[in-house]
Structure 1
């Protein structure tokens, strides 16, 4: 029995390492993009799709992957996802063109979508009671820490070796995760699941999520209504004056509407359905995923703005930017140690509220210290508090959401919870990105209005260059003595806009905190003291 216990905890380490890998790959590419553009000679549009193709496919497939994991076996789905991910990483590391790299990132997104909800359902099936709380704490802190470590790892690999190693590092990690998972993690599935597959539901779900997430991610780039730049997909050019964003959003919403109607019909008829609507009758699950979506609006959106500010205003290198964000990772990892005892003492709902409150304090504090002349130590404490909050809230909110979900349906519950988080995060990034760049454009335009010797046309050109480069043009302006004063104004404007984005994120977190006040106190027996359904003995 002791050996089995140790095996499960080592298995948890393997699962957490796999989760860390897919979260890191969502952020690691950000700092490698400039070198990718130079080496592969890709356009800025292709470079953008290198970053966002992964996120788009990842979010679109979470629900489908979670449901199919319940039926086919959760460990099998997780290992298959890791295998797809490592193959995609090899293709990305060897890519010789922009389209090849984008294709590899799409494949990575498929693998990641198979892994994330399945990792949650494996924890839900293989841990019980107090151990489940500890397992979720480790899982949640892994996500927060990995999100902050991505830029550090990417900056170090890109600076020291090559951007290709940002993908190559996944190869040994993936192989270790596959071997450890097969040896140490028990298989589980829903043997009572109805026969048949809801292929229409799966198709509508993917179309709907793809359209909605695309609109949220790309609205600022291609225009929320009128098309602001060329758009092409699979070699086909979008020539209409209207942006593809509202079209994709409307198609996505329509598909989701048909999907929900079809799921209601299938549930009433007792036919196989992708979405088991009875899950929403569980109060802790219903309130938990709603709170997760709202909290995600402000939880990671600021990580989009902060690296840009560190590099383009304070002049940090990619590696130093990663170091600057390290306190967030430290705080998140520390939360895994204090989360379980706090949960035992106060309950999971109270710990979630404490975590979101800590995030709110950290994010608002960052907004207060952002300035063109901020010293390196000023953000450290607030990033640490922010990380503590992410580690506490992510883990325990997940635990609350899944606590009363039957083990045999944990894959579907995990997929829904992960999807709610991803949609909330995409919406948060869309809103905060709009706040950041709209604020930057407006503030810089006002500050340059009285700049001597700068004609209106030149002013507009400078503002456009700073906005479209996400602040990277500031370095070039600062290097030329003739435009150095303009660069100083741009640094002030970018700092002010980052401050506004931080305060907007804090506002989202305040709403999330209010939503978390509605979380129920989950019964102790709901944490999974019963043996996991249909679980095979752990192979140790």
Structure 2
């Protein structure tokens, strides 16, 4: 008989590494994207979809898999997710085209959606009282640290091997985590009757999918009037109206349908994808709002900065990873602060301090960005930003889940994870659109001022924007005037800066949302019930 009780702290390490797989994967890809652009020739829209394909499926399925794990086994769901994630990483590593890479990322999103909510619900079901707070702190610090170390690992793999190893690294890590989970974590689940809410899951996929599609593809297909050819398989869009407002209309209808369907299922005594009763818990409701907005703002640096560092300043992937290492140092420093203040400072205070540090860091980065930027000034700004991420991530998770009953921990963690991932998806879509749209507008104006012919201007703008900036070095090498190349660098720098300021604006809104948390969880108000907790395991 395996003594899982004694092994649970070792199990926490494997749980944290499991969620680190999906976090590191995202940050590794950010550094590898410039090499992917060069190797596979993907467009700027595809650059966004390489990230969004994963995040979109991830966000859409978190609620379903959180509920599924509660009923059929949290550890079982985690192990299946690890297998799917590792297997799809193989296909991503071998992808010969951008479209196949995006497809592999979609499948990775399925595996990731199985992993994240089950790690949270396993912690919620395994630890109690002060130990739970410590476990969440370790979990959050691991995420913060690995999210920042990912670019360094990705830079090293991309520079000395290939961007394909940014995905291949998931295979050995997945095997290690799979074995570790089997040996250290016991199964836990809730014995509840009722069918899973697949209709709600379908509506949530339609909701998030059409919303992100519209935000990303608006600049490609037109925000209102159709431009460009929109084709899916053998179908071509035949209308003068762009497919983007149609997508937004489907988003609105899906939202109404999702809420109405969920409430209907509750009235007839069936479980819904979201446990609506959880929203009667103030800390849960307000915490999720804050988490969504904060996650939206946190991707201002992660998306655009690696592109700017490599395509404007000319750094390689490894140097880019070394610069972003300042994030890791800040995050690890924050974990020390969180540990030292545990029990003496209310978690919501640390959340606010963390978000404030993120705002300062993002604004600091924005102030540094220009074509001839002294990159050394990025380091303190990124350190402060990383410190903010480290302070805010785990503490906000604890505040959100502190009053969620253990039997609903899967749905609770799935809901808060969905809020974060929806925020991340919207952040990539919105901030990516700000980056590329502002770059196009600024560069077009600059080239007009230089007197370039309209056809030549449009050609340069399309090359820079569609290549996500990789064409800038080509402008210098192809005989284009120095003024044209400088204009492209300046425009891309301005676009990156505007994206950072936009991110800071969202973080300010997120900071404001935390004040609705009130005391926000000085401690959990639930008392442990040993007999009830014991019944959660099988």
- Deviation of 1:132 after TM superposition, in Å, equals 1.7
- Determine the structure 2 residue equivalent to 1:534: 535
8 Å contact from structure 1 (residues 313, 372) kept in 2: yes
User: Unaligned 5+ residue runs, structure 1?
Assistant: none
8 Å contact from structure 1 (residues 209, 252) kept in 2: yes
- Determine the structure 1 residue equivalent to 2:492: 494
- Deviation of 1:366 after TM superposition, in Å, equals 1.0
Q: Matches of 2:420 and 2:84 in 1, distance apart?
A: 23
Distance 1:26 1:414, change over 3 A: same
Higher mean displacement: 30-39 or 250-259: 30-39
- Determine the structure 2 residue equivalent to 1:459: 457
8 Å contact from structure 1 (residues 301, 432) kept in 2: yes
- Determine the structure 2 residue equivalent to 1:379: 378
- Deviation of 1:169 after TM superposition, in Å, equals 1.0
- Determine the structure 2 residue equivalent to 1:80: 80
8 Å contact from structure 1 (residues 78, 115) kept in 2: yes
TM-score, with normalisation over the residues of structure 2? 0.92
Count of matched residue pairs: 533
User: Unaligned 5+ residue runs, structure 2?
Assistant: none
Deviation sequence 1:63-82 (CA, Å, 0-9, x none):
11111111111111111111
Q: Matches of 2:149 and 2:17 in 1, distance apart?
A: 13
Q: Matches of 1:37 and 1:440 in 2, distance apart?
A: 18
Secondary structure of 2:403 counterpart: coil
- Determine the structure 1 residue equivalent to 2:122: 122
8 Å contact from structure 1 (residues 354, 393) kept in 2: yes
Q: Matches of 1:98 and 1:220 in 2, distance apart?
A: 20
Query: Aligned pair 1:132/2:132, yes or no?
Result: yes
8 Å contact from structure 1 (residues 134, 339) kept in 2: no
- Deviation of 1:235 after TM superposition, in Å, equals 5.7
Deviation sequence 1:25-80 (CA, Å, 0-9, x none):
22433444565567667777766644432222112111111111111111111111
1:326-405 alignment to 2 at 5 Å? 326-405=325-404
Deviation sequence 1:396-449 (CA, Å, 0-9, x none):
111100000001101101111111112222222333223222322332233333
Distance 1:326 1:235, change over 3 A: farther
Distance 1:38 1:428, change over 3 A: closer
Higher mean displacement: 376-385 or 498-507: 498-507
Q: Matches of 1:296 and 1:37 in 2, distance apart?
A: 26
Q: Matches of 1:313 and 1:98 in 2, distance apart?
A: 23
- Determine the structure 2 residue equivalent to 1:144: 144
TM-score, with normalisation over the residues of structure 1? 0.91
Q: Matches of 2:181 and 2:243 in 1, distance apart?
A: 42
Distance 1:273 1:349, change over 3 A: same
8 Å contact from structure 2 (residues 363, 501) kept in 1: yes
Higher mean displacement: 175-184 or 35-44: 35-44
Q: Matches of 2:364 and 2:47 in 1, distance apart?
A: 33
Cα root mean square deviation, aligned: 2.5
Deviation sequence 1:231-290 (CA, Å, 0-9, x none):
444564445444333323322331231121011122122223222211000011011001
1:297-308 alignment to 2 at 5 Å? 297-308=296-307
Deviation sequence 1:69-121 (CA, Å, 0-9, x none):
11111111111111111121233334455554443322211100011111111
- Deviation of 1:373 after TM superposition, in Å, equals 1.5
Distance 1:260 1:51, change over 3 A: same
8 Å contact from structure 2 (residues 120, 413) kept in 1: yes
1:255-334 alignment to 2 at 5 Å? 255-334=254-333
Task: Find the partner of 2:511 among 510, 513, 537.
Answer: 513
